[in-house]
Amino acid sequence: MSNLNSLAHFWPELILAVTVLVAIIADLFYRREDSYKVSWWLLGGLALTLFSIRTGGSLVSSLFMGTIAIDPFSEFFKVLILLSTTLVILMSFNSKELKDYRVGEYFSILAIMAFGLFLMASAIDILMVYIAIEIVSIMSFFLAGYLKKKPESNEASLKYVIYGAFSSGIMLYGLSILFGLTGTTKFFEMQTALASLGPDSSLALLLATVFILVGFGYKISAVPFHFWTPDVYEGSPTTITAYLSVAPKAAGFAMLIRFFNQVLGDGSAMTSSSWLALNGIPWPQLIAVLAAATMTVGNLVAIQQNSVKRMLAYSSIAHAGYMMMALPLMSESGIYGIMMYLTMYLFMNLGAFYVVIYVEGISGGESFEDFNGLGWKMPLVGGAMTLFMVALTGLPPTAGFIGKFYIFAAVIEAGSQYYWLAFVGVINSVISLYYYIRVVKHMYLKGERSESVEVPSSKLVIFILLFLAIPTFIFGWYFGPVANWISESLIIFNGI
């Protein structure tokens, strides 16, 4: 589709871009103490963007001369990105970390990052892939170091820049090799060219895909590309830590699925036969090993943490490993499982981080000791945190159980060659129970019981807690609407 004709189907991104411009201009007219009002413009723009996605029909096509795909698959991830962006903006209102800073540009950068994530979910051209990743990365660098007066935040931003530049450089080198092998930047043209390559190019294809996997693995915090995650998550504003743990992960998996299915596979029906175009290179086994390493390293290191925030950082690495379990299958049930897991993960992980934000605001810290007696003093907050911890472990009847159920079901359904991966996943889920329940232990069994019961004074705090906690519980036993939505979203543009 030509550039001019594409604009008629590019409304979500256009609305988001206009929203960012309006927010930046509006910020010029607000005083420092009123700069938070920029968020109102952004929330309105995000609502319009969501409306444009949900009313855009079910068109399956490519836009801008084959660089971006529009399909139900990308729309699913865009809704997740919008929902997480909206929730993080609302969560930022009660962040004590941001009270000493002008926050107008903070909210604007969040929206720019959401725009980049949209492009990540839709890109079907390696140039657009790189541009989208760089938009997201640069905005992430700014947000990680937003607390300029806090040394840890400056350190987080610097480490993020170093690791980000390193992984982007390696990925760009891999993309250049792939371009040299195929002579094109378009996913589907690459797929056709790769299918006709002889065994002489296997080494070059191997190097290119490994280097590209470095860039993708960096975005989803997969081992061994995860080293930036704990320090950046710990030093960033907790609201940004929550956002980085959900939205870029979702867009990263969307990009991974598209790339492996449409460049290194047949791109048609998302079946295991799509791996036949890999020239005999055992990519399913390699990604399965990476998945096992990611969840194992994340869980084992999370056990050793004394900060709940840092523990959740390593926990997010482990959850990336659980979702990666379904990538080697490249089957419809595997991709369905990843999408289901991401939906459930959004609510329970943002909920856990929001409780950390709240506790940090009233106690000034995020260590396990800061949670002592919280369950007795604030039953609503303690009960919600308990629910989030149980859900992140994957125990019924919570949303986390449903997410893991679909992942494990897809792995077992793929055949006996993946049984070992399912076993590793089960063992890791048991390990994670230790550090998640440790938070519950401190809330109810440590410290002194409070004689009085307190409720958060802010109605917004109560609203966000309930908005995140209720789906975390209800989706554990009634998830039909979510399942139907995901089933309708399993339509990926296949180049025809």
Greater confidence (100 vs 51) lies with 51
Give the burial class of 162: count Cβ atoms within 10 A of its Cβ; 0-12 exposed, 13-18 middle, 19 or more buried. Answer: exposed
Counting every residue, how long is the chain? Answer: 496
Tell me which DSSP letter residue 435 carries.
Answer: H
Q: What is the mean pLDDT of residues 104-127?
A: 92
Q: Taking a C-beta distance cutoff of 8 angstroms, is the pair 144, 153 a contact?
A: yes
pLDDT in tens, 330-368: 788 889 999 999 999 999 999 999 999 998 888 877 888
pLDDT value of position 272:
46
Which residues, in sequence order, are CB contacts of 355 under 8 Å at separation 6+?
A: 381, 384, 385, 388, 465
pLDDT in tens, 433-450: 999 999 999 998 887 777
Q: What is the mean pLDDT of residues 8-30?
A: 90
- Concatenated DSSP letters of 143-162: HHT--TT-HHHHHHHHHHHH
pLDDT value of position 373:
86
57 pLDDT tier (thresholds 50, 70, 90): low
pLDDT value of position 408:
93
CA 27 to CA 112: how far, in whole Å?
Answer: 15
pLDDT in tens, 254-268: 998 888 888 876 655
Give the position of tokens 């009313």.
55
Which residues, in sequence order, are CB contacts of 129 under 8 Å at separation 6+?
A: 120, 123, 175, 255, 259
pLDDT value of position 279:
54
pLDDT value of position 164:
87
Q: By three-state DSSP, how is residue 4 classified?
A: helix
2 pLDDT tier (thresholds 50, 70, 90): low
Q: Where are the domains of the chain?
A: 282-496
Q: What is the mean pLDDT of residues 13-30?
A: 91
Mean pLDDT, the chain, integer: 87
Long-range CB contacts (within 8 A, 24+) of 317-320: 317/221, 317/222, 317/223, 317/226, 317/229, 318/294, 318/428, 318/432, 319/295, 319/345, 319/349, 319/392, 320/220, 320/221, 320/222, 320/249, 320/294, 320/295
**Lookup: tokens for 415:** 């055949």
Element (H, E) at 68: strand 68-70
Percent over 90 (pLDDT), the chain: 47
pLDDT in tens, 138-147: 999 999 988 8
187-191, 193-197, 299-303: which has the highest mean pLDDT? 299-303
Q: What is the mean pLDDT of residues 396-409?
A: 92
pTM: 0.93
Q: What is the mean pLDDT of residues 463-475?
A: 94
CA 249 to CA 314: how far, in whole Å?
Answer: 14
